Amino acid sequence: MNLGREIEDVVEKLCKKSFFADFTIRNPKYRKLGGEEKEAADLLVVFNNTLLAIQVKSKQVDSSSHPCRIELGRVSKSVDKAIHQFRALTEALNSPDLKSFRNARGVEIAFEKNKITEIILVVVFVPIWPEKSKPAQIRFDTTCYPDGPIPIHLFTLRQFSLLMLLLDTLPDFIFYLTARWMLHGEKLIPPDSDPADEWALAMFERKKLIEMYEKKIFTDITGLNKRHAPSLVELERKEKPSYFIDQLIEQLNAAIGSGEPVDKRFNLLAEPNSLKAYQMTIPYLAKLNRKDRGQLVEFLVNRVMQCQKQEIAFRGFKFSEESDDAYLVLAAKFEREERRIALSNIAMGMGHKLKAKTVIGIAVSSGWPDLPVYDVAVVDVSKLELSSKLIEMTEIAFRKRPYFRPRQF
């Protein structure tokens, strides 16, 4: 039995669920200058300008309830070996032949190394106990190595699995790792802090986290996650609607290849339900953290409710005023083709009004979600020249309905 392979399967499954299979790459290969083929890492997660490299290391520990000093020394050497294996990633990034990877959906994707500005390294360690009835819990003295230029994080599989449940979007996970690296780098928390307690600090006590950093206040956060157990229950309740976005991405992927007639008046960037259209759309949805996904769904539900009293209801918004991307949710009693045309036209006006370069729109019927038909469109308005008539109509519409309210930070 290849336990190492099975454990990698578990870690890959966790990453695919939280970060999407589109950005997860298993055992990426590259060739050294001499022609030898090697693996850059056990798993890579590549998204926008961030490269998350994961090395999985398992080690059989002979003792069960009380591992001796020799056993713990072997565990330490195993972790050190995993960290040194990241050297292969450096070789891979310097390899001129490394131009693409096959992601977890089996699709070949281009790897634009010049766009990578942030690299984060994660080691997932898995102790294997022969006596399964009384396994000891490994706890490392140091779980973050902030001294080098590249962050290195160490988790056991149990800890990593829990984090993937608590931080199940890539933006949220990267924010957590960044905050964690800062806390350890400034020595503001104990070096053996439980990752779950670190998460609770970043999630529920963000003002305190900022104060700790600004005033360099050392804080023992032991037990913080347990103290916030009621807050976690409430958080899970609030976040439940946001998973529509996760389901939407999977449904968009499932629709690839299905034929869909489109009105000739559309000037399309890609064929509907094509792989190209899907790959153009998913980054805009995947980059939303859990809170933003919930906000988007909340706006969509409100538009559906509003549409019960009128023919069409829509709202455009940005998640930050500095962003070049705007989002549009629309509900209408029209037939689907008319709804699509309305989505496209309003997206163009929305891009003008919100000074956005790209508008990501979701349109549903007034009977959603009982009628689960929807349309998703990415509209590039960066080079769009609107007619004076359309601009005038847009200005009138927005004066009547204040759809955009900047989020307060």
pLDDT of 268 higher than 70: no
- Whether 20 shows a pLDDT value over 90: the answer reads yes
Secondary structure percentages of the chain, helix, strand, coil, to 5? 45, 20, 35
Contact (CB, 8 A) for 337 and 375: no
More confident residue, 308 or 64: 308
Rg (CA), the chain: 24
pLDDT at 63: 55
The confidence band for 386, taking pLDDT boundaries of 50, 70 and 90, is low
Residue 176 has pLDDT above 90, yes or no: yes
Q: Which fold has domain 3-186?
A: Restriction Endonuclease (3.40.91)
What Cα–Cα distance (Å) separates residue 73 from each residue in 78, 129, 130, 141? 9, 16, 18, 12
Residues pairing with 364 in the sheet: 331, 374
Confidence of residue 73 (pLDDT cuts 50, 70, 90): low
- Return the closest-CA partner of residue 328 out of 304, 350, 302, 297: 350
The per-residue pLDDT for 80 is 84
Q: Could you tell me the pLDDT band of residue 219, with boundaries at 50, 70 and 90?
A: very high
- Report residue 16 as tokens: 């695919």
Nearest Cα neighbor of 158 from 316, 335, 319, 11 is: 11
Q: Are 11 and 123 in contact (CB under 8 A)?
A: no
Q: In this predicted structure, what is the pLDDT of residue 85? A: 86
DSSP for residue 330: E
pLDDT of 60 above 80: no
- CB 340, CB 362: distance < 8 Å: no
* Reported confidence tier of residue 409, pLDDT bands at 50, 70, 90: very low
Mean pLDDT of 308-318: 94
Percentage of the chain exceeding pLDDT 90: 58
Q: Could you tell me the two tokens for 350?
A: 């929305």
DSSP 3-state of 317: strand
Q: Specify whether the CB–CB gap between 94 and 100 falls below 8 A.
A: no
Give residue for tokens 């490392």: 140
Q: What is the pLDDT of residue 62?
A: 65
Name which of 21, 79, 78, 69 is nearest 45 in CA terms. Answer: 21
Which two structure tokens, joined as six digits, stand for 268? 């399309």
| Domain assignments of the chain as residue spans, ordered by start | 3-186, 247-400
Q: DSSP string of 215-268?
A: HT-----TTHHHHTHHHHHHHHHHHGGGHHHHHHHHHHHHTTT------TT---
Evaluate whether 123 touches 79 at the Cβ level (below 8 Å): yes
> For residue 84, what are the contacts with CB-CB under 8 A and spacing of at least 6?
none
Which of 143, 230, 150 is CA-nearest to residue 183? Answer: 143
